[in-house]
Structure 1
Amino acid sequence: MSPRLNMIIGLVALILGAVAMSVFTVDQRQYALVFQLGEVKRVITEPGLHFKLPLVQNIRFFDNRILTLESADPERFITSEKKNVLVDSFIKWRIVDPKLYYMSVGGDEMRARTRLSQTVNAGLREEFGKRLVHDVISGERDKIMDRMREKADIDARRIGVKIVDVRLKRVELPDEVSGAVYSRMEAERKRVANELRSEGAAEAEKIRADADRQREIIVAEAYRDAQKVKGEGDAKAAALYAEAFSKSPEFYAFYRSLEAYRNSFASKNDVLVVEPNSDFFKYLKNQGK
């Protein structure tokens, strides 16, 4: 191989190496800072292929996605009534100014997390110190989170970071306080339950008494109507008997005597003691007639 060919190959390799050292790719999930001799020369926020001066400039990448800062253990805060509460929270944040972020915390994510955690912790202590236990547990949780997001974002902007959200996952009383609170809640619930049972028993007695009264009224009205119908029936029967008697008194007397005989001797064990000359045997003695 001739020296000239070796020179050409070496030149091409040198050019390719220089091009490779001059080209870099920025992912859509990243920012890129171009440094020259330790000084930030450019901030690249658009993804794609970019160029730099080889050997003179170097690149450092930062995440532009929303990051989560979550407390490892619940923090203890004091309310305005001097009661302790345990608060479990998390922060959603992202880098919006990579140059300021680098200049403020040196691009160190742990330093940024520490700064944000201290800011939110101090703000929560202030907000909880203004409110009662009921307010921080349920009444004003949304209001606390909104105010903390606004206040923490103001401080975070100084290091090139934006606070997207601050959330309280859990707010509860410590174990040493929860037992007493739950006991009071249980006693209160039992008191309310007893009141409701008493009211229910009184209402039941009232309904039962009203039902008994209505039953007595219905039975009395039914008996009255029954007696009325019975009286009307007896009156009609008496009228029929009277009409039949008026048409043939002798036949009517004979028919009624037969009925009396049949009713008196319906069973073999029936015994009737009367005088032989009694009118009861009138038609038995006068068979021919």
Structure 2
Amino acid sequence: MKNRIGLIASSILLLLVIASSMLYVVDQRKFAVVYALGEIKEVVAEPGLKFKLPPPFQNVVFLDRRILTLDSPETRPIFTAEKKTLVIDWLVKWRITDPRQFIRNNGVDVRNAENRLTPIVQAAFNEEVTRRTVRGVLSTERDKVMEGVRARLADDAKNFGIEVVDVRVKRVDFSANITDSVYRRMESERKRVANELRSTGAAEGETIRADADRQRDVIIAEAYREAQKVKGEGDAKAAALYAAAFGRDPQFAHFYRSLEAYRQSFRNKSDVMVVDPNSEFFRAMRGLGAPAAAPR
């Protein structure tokens, strides 16, 4: 009895294992490729629970149907139409559209397709870049370069069983030896511009200083002229006042002039003068009045 129960349990277990090997689930992000004795029998794209024959009669392999990214593996120099060397980092967006063709050309490993596609993409970039100048690749014709590469990849992509969704240039730079010469040229150009600005500034500074000196001389000359004019008018008024005052009292005028003469003569204490005390010079000191006017 126990042997019979064990045999039944073993049979049920075997049936469950066989039934589970006949079922598989297709994810919406995958293709299911059904093999029958080593040949592709069916490609299933619809998601859900599916049935097949148990191994070794049928096997299932899954392929990713999402958009995949291929990056440039290394920076390789490319020559432009001007014989300048550029280094371009790129990426390609692609996806599997024909699983049968993809497997026939690349197997089930995506890396095989990427290894074969990389040199083709690099060759397409070489052909597009060598037709253009550095300026075109960097700015004006950058979109055309990417469109041209994508167009060149279209036929090869069909042979691979894939579709190239997009091609992008991530970075464009000069190679190391070109970069140094470009930096040196930029440095010399900036120095030249700086020297021109310094020369222009020095010339303008000299012009401003010369104009300021001229204006200063003009202002000083005008001020001196005005000062001399005012001084002359003051001296004339003073002379008129003196003449009017002295005309009213000639003796006072003589006395005042004598005092001025004494002040000028005895300005320094160390001066020595030998003069006759009875001379006319000391007349005011002796208390005498002004000399009599000569008869007309």
Once the two structures are TM-superposed, the CA of residue 198 in structure 1 deviates from its matched residue by: 4.3
* 1:285 partner SS: coil
Q: 1:39 aligns to what?
A: 41
Contact 2:128 2:149 (C-alpha < 8 Å) held by counterparts: no
Alpha carbons 2:85, 2:174 under 8 Å: kept: yes
- Distance in 2 separating the partners of 1:40 and 1:230: 123
Mapped partners of 1:232, 1:121: distance in 2: 98
Structure 2: unaligned runs, 5 residues or longer? 291-296
What is residue 91 of structure 2 aligned with on the other side?
91
Q: How does 1:109-258 map to 2 (within 5 A)?
A: 109-136=110-137, 138-140=138-140, 142-148=142-148, 150-152=150-152, 154-155=154-155, 157-158=157-158, 159-167=161-169, 169-173=171-175, 175=177, 195-246=196-247, 248-255=249-256, 257-258=258-259
Note closer, same or farther for the CA distance 1:285–1:93 as it changes in structure 2 (3 Å cut).
same
- C-alpha deviation, 1:164, in angstroms: 2.6
CA change 1:123–1:36 in 2 (3 A) is closer
Q: Which residue of 2 aligns with 1:105?
A: 106
Q: How many residues were matched structurally?
A: 280
Aligned AA (2:151):
K
Q: CA deviation at 1:69?
A: 1.5
CA shift, 1:85, in A, is 1.0
SS at match of 2:132: coil
User: Which letter does structure 2 place at the counterpart of 1:285?
Assistant: R
Report the Cα offset of residue 264 of structure 1. Answer: 4.4
Partner amino acid, structure 2, of 1:72: E
* Residue 223 of structure 1, CA deviation: 2.0
Deviations 1:58-112 (A, max 9, x none): 24142725424123232343x334x251423221313152635445533433333
| Contact 2:251/2:289, CA 8 A, preserved across alignment | no
Task: Give the residue type in structure 1 aligned to 2:87.
Answer: V
SS of 1:284's equivalent in the other structure is coil
Distance across 2 between alignment mates of 1:16 and 1:226: 126
1:39 is displaced (CA, Å) by 2.9
Q: Is the 8 A contact 2:77 2:175 kept in 1?
A: no
Q: Deviations over 1:244-263 (max 9, x none)?
A: 44555544554454455445
Q: Kindly indicate whether the alpha-carbon contact (under 8 Å) linking 1:33 and 1:41 is maintained by their aligned counterparts in 2.
A: yes
Change (3 A) 1:155 1:218: farther
Percent identity reads 37
C-alpha distance in 2, partners of 1:196/1:71?
47
Q: Distance in 1 between matches of 2:31 and 2:125?
A: 34
| Whole-angstrom distance in 2 between the partners of 1:52 and 1:279 | 158
Q: Tell me which structure has the larger Cα radius of gyration.
A: 2
Q: How many Å separate the matches in 2 of 1:224 and 1:157?
A: 97
C-alpha separation in 2, matches of 1:280 and 1:212: 53
Cα separation, partners in 2 of 1:266 and 1:141, compared to 1, 3 Å = farther
* TM-score normalised by L of structure 1: 0.71
Unaligned runs of 5+ residues in structure 1 are none
User: Which amino acid in structure 1 is aligned with residue 223 of structure 2?
Assistant: A
Q: If the length of structure 2 is used for normalisation, what is the TM-score? A: 0.69
Q: RMSD over aligned Cα, in angstroms?
A: 4.2
- Distance in 1 between residues matched to 2:49 and 2:275, nearest whole Å: 142
Cα separation, 2, equivalents of 1:70 and 1:120 = 9
Structure 1 position 167, deviation (Å): 0.9
Supply the AA of the counterpart residue of 1:221.
E
Equivalent in the alignment of 1:75:
77
Native 8 Å contact 1:152 1:163 kept in 2: no
User: Residue type of the partner of 1:209?
Assistant: A
Q: Verify the 8 A CA contact 2:90 2:169 in the aligned structure 1.
A: yes
Q: Contact between 1:91 and 1:167, CA under 8 Å: does it hold in 2?
A: yes
55, 60, 63: which one pairs with 2:62? 60
1:263-278 paired onto structure 2 within 5 Å:
264-271=265-272, 276-277=277-278
Change (3 A) 1:261 1:40: farther
